[in-house]
Amino acid sequence: MRFDILTIFPDIFESYFRESIMARALDENLINIKVHNIREYSKNRHKKVDDLPFGGGPGMLMTPQPLYDSITKIKKKNKGPVIFMTPQGQTLTQTKVEKFAKFDELILLCGRYEGIDQRIRDMLVDHEISIGNYILTGGEIPAMVMVDAISRLVPGVLGEKESLNEESFSKNLKRKKEYPQYTRPADFMGKKVPEVLLSGNHKKIETWRRKNLK
Ligand code: SAH
């Protein structure tokens, strides 16, 4: 799976992708992430990427030229859909994550300021995705959420230990369902792990877990 991410703050992505499962997936070439700085495409002599909205209103908007040039250049190498991260988009769900995971390539566009010029959305954006009904300062965290959720569905990214079989959100589950889980020690400050989980009786454990789904 190849991700191309467009942002004016490329450094935001570094530390997250350098750790844990994401780092291993990158090392093993199971996923490939390229982060591109939109500002480098600006033809403005001060490398400006924002301007005032026509008709007035608060804040600034990302101008179309650097977005157009960066997206069209990346589209030559990445044939996947362009996904714009925006609070006005469709809310991300596990079902949508599964759909995006079927692609081999994706292009993720991160907005800043009050968002981007509408013409870029009309001309170049295939999907608009929100990570929830709240407003962040930029699309970088939403893009990381997408990359993380999609990457763990790429075969080989999760080790045997981190199984996909017992997921909280399966296709038909609307709400999170998981049984309570415990690890060592069996007695923590007098709070004991339910006896059945220490019994080694898999049938009983299974029944207990089913009864205690939350
Ligand atoms: N004025 C816009 C908010 C802009 S927030 C509005 O009212 O809708 C700046 C950028 O952050 C957006 O362009 C988008 O890329 C990103 N962003 C903020 N909240 C987001 C969310 N919930 N999901 C996805 N992207 C979000």
Residues 6+ apart with CB under 8 A from 11: none
Residues 6 and 78 in one domain: yes
**Cβ–ligand 1 contact at 78 (below 6 Å):** no
Q: Which atom of ligand 1 is nearest to the CA of 129?
A: 24
Task: Tell whether ligand 1 has an atom less than 6 A from the beta carbon of residue 153.
Answer: no
Instruction: Please give the tally of structural domains in the chain.
Output: 2
Residue 140 in any domain: the answer is yes
pLDDT in tens, 70-79: 999 999 999 9
Cβ contacts of 109 within 8 Å, gap of 6 or more: 6, 67, 71, 82, 83, 84, 85, 116, 125, 139
Nearest CA to ligand 1 atom 7: 114
Percent of the chain with pLDDT over 70: 92
Kindly tell me if the per-residue pLDDT of 212 is higher than 80. Answer: yes
CA of 113 to the centre of ligand 1 (A): 8
Q: Which of 22, 34, 33, 29 is nearest to 149 (CA)?
A: 22
Q: Using CA atoms, how far apart are residues 11 and 20, in angstroms rounded to an integer? A: 18
CATH number of the domain encompassing residue 192: 1.10.1270.20
| pLDDT value for 209 | 97
Question: How far, in Å, is the centroid of ligand 1 from the Cα of 87?
Answer: 5
From residue 114, how far is each of 39, 62, 118, 141 by CA, in Å?
A: 17, 8, 11, 16
Q: Provide the pLDDT for residue 177.
A: 85
Q: Provide the pLDDT confidence category of residue 166 given band limits of 50, 70 and 90.
A: low
The predicted-structure confidence for 167-202, as pLDDT tens digits, reads as follows 666 555 456 789 999 999 999 999 999 999 999 999
Mean pLDDT for all residues in the chain: 94
Whether residue 90 sits in one domain with residue 42: yes
Same-domain check for residues 135 and 205? no
pLDDT in tens, 31-56: 999 999 999 999 999 999 999 999 99
Q: Long-range contacts for 204-210 (Cβ within 8 Å, ≥24 apart)? A: 208/179, 209/179, 210/179
Cα separation, 141 vs 16, in Å, equals 10
Residues 6+ apart with CB under 8 A from 99: none
- Residue 60 included in any domain: yes
Query: Which of 86, 118, 128, 145 gets mutated to test ligand 1 (max ligand atoms within 8 A of its CB)?
Result: 86
pLDDT of residue 175: 60
How far is 207 from 196, CA to CA, in rounded Å? 10
Return the pLDDT at 184.
97
Mean per-residue pLDDT for 3-18?
Answer: 97
Does a structural domain hold residue 158? no
Tell me the pLDDT tens digit for each residue of 173-182.
456 789 999 9
Task: Output the CA 100–ligand 1 centroid distance in Å.
Answer: 20
Whole-number Å distance between alpha carbons of 149 and 92: 10
Does pLDDT of 64 surpass 80? yes
* Residues of the domain holding 95: 2-151
| pLDDT computed for residue 159 by the predictor | 81
Q: Are residues 13 and 97 in the same domain?
A: yes
Same domain, 121 and 193: no
* Average pLDDT of the segment spanning 73-98: 98
117 touches ligand 1 (CB under 6 Å): no
Lowest-pLDDT choice from 5-14, 19-28, 154-163 = 154-163
